[in-house]
Amino acid sequence: MGNINLETKDYVLSSLNDAFSDDVVQSVYFRLNMRRRRYWANPDQGSRLYTLRRSKDVPRMLQTVRQYAEEALADLVPERLQSLAVSATQKVKSRIELNIEITRLTGEKQTIPYFVPVGG
């Protein structure tokens, strides 16, 4: 699991199962943080979550954030993961929390937290 350090506003990985190596978690964070069309070797890699920083904080953003996250992580499913489920909730204004539930090819599950700033 990961926690957020409020001073640095960065994720702190506290405990990971032995079955999950850091590369799976890092690849999820990498795809969510990288802008779409920026990686020269694969222009479809990355997410469009960066576009939501300047959008309005309206209820339909939950669906948009979930859709953008699923789009960014879609290529992980056939090669590295068995399944992937993204859920979005909003408890604080201008911030949407994502819970990404991944299932490895061995059947083991893990939930990865991530948050997206929305609105200005």
Residue ranges per domain, the chain? 2-117
**Looking at domain 2-117, which CATH architecture does it have?**
Roll (3.10)
C-alpha 35 chain-centroid distance: 13
**pLDDT tens, N- to C-terminus, the chain (120 residues):** 567 777 777 777 665 554 455 578 888 988 999 888 777 777 788 899 999 988 898 999 999 999 999 999 998 988 889 999 999 999 999 999 999 999 988 888 999 999 999 986
Give the model's pLDDT for residue 99: 96
Other CB atoms within 10 A of residue 68 CB: 22
User: What is the pTM (predicted TM-score) of this model?
Assistant: 0.77
